[in-house]
Amino acid sequence: MNVVITYDISEDKRRTKIFNILKSYGQWVQLSVFECCNLTDTQYAKLRSRLSKAIQPNVDSIRFYFLCGCCQGKVERIGGEQPRDETIFFATSADG
């Protein structure tokens, strides 16, 4: 299944957690938007469960938009750059 997921998370720590969960399932396409393509039912269920546990339902919001195979090919983008992942990974040398 193909799902566009948007989120509105008020607190930085939770927003970062949501971002990292979504990053492991899909492509970051705008500030609070991910495209998750070719998810199995099991992957979607696990993703939804993880997201549900990470939010405060009375404050935060996550929306799921399902795209059929035909609709996926009709997604259009005008202007703007793809967002850059600013995650920094530090490599350590084996030499210590």
User: Known binding site: residues?
Assistant: 8
Distance of CA 66 to the CA centre of its chain: 14
User: Known binding site for Mg(2+): residues?
Assistant: 8
In one-letter notation, the amino acid at residue 13 is K
**Residue 21: closest CA among 54, 63, 62:** 54
Residue indicated by tokens 């009375």: 58
